[in-house]
A and B are shown apart, each in its own frame.
Chain A
Amino acid sequence: MEKAVEVRDLTVAYRDNPVLWDVDLDVSSGTLMAIVGPNGAGKTTLIKAILGLVKPAAGQIRVLGKPYQEVASSVGYVPQRGSVDWDFPTSVIDIVLMGLYGRLGWIRRPRRKEHEEAMIALEKVGMVDFAHRQISQLSGGQQQRVFLARALVQNAHLYLMDEPFQGVDATTEHAIIEILRTLRSSGTTVLVVHHDLQTVSSYFDEVLLLNVRKIASGPVSDVFTDTNLRLTYGGRIAIIRGTM
């Protein structure tokens, strides 16, 4: 099966401390995969390494069979919404249009066609009515959906989402799940940094358990076991895994 992401022997270090250590990962096309692990496990770093945002100390990464630079336009990134200043003076649709900057290239401005695409993306996340709203007026869940729309407008083959469910309302959570399922049915691969262990088995096909080193990865039913979770989170964990 074709691989959407291939990571070999990836090590990322920050001031001599390994953040990721010797991680191997294969993600098949069309998979919904959760990346799970405690704080400081290197989940965000893994996503950033795949995107070329952090330099690995060692290892290779191939995305859609090629180096990231060559396929960047087919990869959509949804960063943590806390990573930007939401008091920035601009509107919702303007943020979504940013997803098309790579395709537009230099100097060209977004035109009617791009605006229509942005509106379609906003429609998918249920934010059409907010298109011309100032972004500082959005709730956390709405901010998250705007970021999602910005990635969706790219029509990517691979999506990397950093904690999209973090602190969002029920409406947003449902909207995101709907989008994840639509993406999967169209053969798109999605990697999601996820915190809520209760929902892993109901939302995702596969899971990567990460704590600096890879603990396990594969189909949720095989990998998401008490033993592996204890290995990931250390002995302290006392979670009741949902069977929903």
Chain B
Amino acid sequence: MEQFFDDYTLRTVTLGVAILGVVSGGLGVFAVLRRQSLLGDAVSHAALPGIGLAFILTGSKAALVLMVGAGLAGWLATSVVLLVTVNTRVKYDSALGLVLSVFFGAGLVLLTFIQRSPDADQAGLDSFLFGQAASLVLEDVMTMTILGGLSLVILIVFWKEFKLLIFDPEYAHSLVLPVRRLDFGLTTLLVIAIVIGLQTVGVVLMSAMIIAPAAAARQWTDNLGTMTVVSMIMGALSGVGGVFLSASTSDLPTGPIIVIFASGIVFISIFFAPHRGIAWEQVRRRIQNRRLKSEAVLLDLFRLAKTHETLEYPHMEAALRVIHPRTGTLRRQLRGLEEKGLVKMSDNGAWALSQSGIKVCQELMNQHTP
């Protein structure tokens, strides 16, 4: 910890990934809810040739220059995807895959070309492949903060319009909201969120920073606003966690560690989140099962008693065991029912329904035969 506050580079890097996590977490929510997660993947891969071209044209490695190049290429990629889907019979996912690989391939070619050119100060461009958090300087972080902050402000200003756009675009259109311009705006914000993370996480893994925090956040809440905030926090946590882990262990690449951190959060959320989590679902199912089983025992007592003159007629456990062969379970259920006052044990060890047990049975019978 002490080392952290002393280490200027580490502080800069931490700040940078935290900002990146907040922005990609926030905008990722909208991408994930719109089922555009893969678009993020296409945009980030497609950014690579943009970075290469920006460097070739300007000779500069300033964050802003490369981000503009990446952003334009990412934008071009989404437009091509749209064009292909609208004008050909190629489906959306195939178009994404196609565009992603063509752009990424072109980007690799450009990077190789740059690396071979003798006079260029090309070192570091290939770090955009898998990201290199350590290369972040304060200037980069400032650029990320301004761009990211701006896109979050726009997101908040047009919050209700974006919400309606992703929930029900046709209805938005019927209210004469400018759906196409909103769509353009939201996609641009997504492109910005991706572009500011490329230097840190890399084009290959950046889409995980868009998808993972949002997917995890969805597990914990049913409110769009809360989901966005939770996703921002999870994005920042994965970033900062990843930086610390890779800083404390030498030679671990930061970008992949951040993504693994984010995946860990997704994993935990999918299993343990209340209501939507898998573990929660299992517990609920078990409770439900137990209730159904003891209801069955109660109803069997009811059916047996019906053949006698009184519904409170007691029966020996052996009579029930014919229907419920597992003795241990049966006795436990009878005891459970006894605790609830639905059955009682008579002196000779036989079980009988109580008055409230009879009432419950009659209600259950009514429910099952509407």
Contact = CB atoms under 8 A, between A and B. Distances in A.
A101 B175 contact: yes
Given A88-B33, A89-B221, A89-B223, A98 B173 contact: no
A98 B158 contact: no
A101 B167 contact: no
Contact of A101 (B33, B166, B177, B223): B177
Contacts of B309: none
Nearest to B179: A53
Question: Size band of the B side of the interface?
Answer: 20 to 34
A86 B176 CA distance: 23
Nearest to A97: B160
A72 B175 contact: yes
B170 interface: yes
Interface in B165-198: 166-168, 170-177
B174 A89 contact: no
Contacts of A72: 174-176
B158 A89 contact: no
Given A77-B174, A102-B176, A136 B168 contact: no
Given A89-B223, A89-B227, A107 B168 contact: no
- Which of B160, B177, B227 has the most A CB atoms < 10 Å from its CB? B160
Given A79-B168, A84-B167, A90-B222, A106 B173 contact: no
Contact of B161 (A69, A79, A101, A134): A101
A109 interface: yes
Contacts of B170: 48, 53, 77, 79, 83
B322 interface: no
A85 B218 CA distance: 14
A51 interface: yes
B168 A101 contact: no
A167 interface: no
A52 interface: yes
A90 B158 contact: no
B164 interface: yes
B157 interface: yes
Given A106-B161, A107-B157, A136-B222, A88 B167 contact: yes
Given A77-B171, A95-B167, A101-B164, 9 more contacts: A72-B176, A75-B174, A79-B168, A83-B168, A91-B222, A101-B160, A102-B177, A104-B160, A106-B161
A-B complex: 10 closest residue pairs judged by Cβ atoms = A102-B175, A77-B174, A72-B176, A134-B222, A51-B174, A89-B222, A84-B168, A89-B224, A88-B167, A89-B227
